[in-house]
Amino acid sequence: AQTVTQSQPEMSVQEAETVTLSCTYDTSESDYYLFWYKQPPSRQMILVIRQEAYKQQNATENRFSVNFQKAAKSFSLKISDSQLGDAAMYFCAYRDNAGNMLTFGGGTRLMVKP
Partner 1 sequence: DGGITQSPKYLFRKEGQNVTLSCEQNLNHDAMYWYRQDPGQGLRLIYYSQIVNDFQKGDIAEGYSVSREKKESFPLTVTSAQKNPTAFYLCASSTWMERLSGTEAFFGQGTRLTVV
Q: Which residues bind partner 1 (CB under 8 A)?
A: 1, 6, 31, 33, 35, 37, 43-45, 47, 50, 52, 54, 91, 93, 95-97, 99-107, 109
| Interatomic CA distance for residues 72 and 83, integer angstroms | 30
Smallest separation, CB 51 to partner 1 (Å): 10
CB of 16 to partner 1, least distance (A): 27
Min separation Cβ 1 and partner 1, Å: 8
Nearer to partner 1, 18 or 106 (CB): 106
Nearest Cα residue to 108 out of 23, 46, 50: 23
User: First vs last Cα of the chain: how many Å apart?
Assistant: 41
Q: Of all helices (H) and strands (E), which one includes residue 62?
A: none
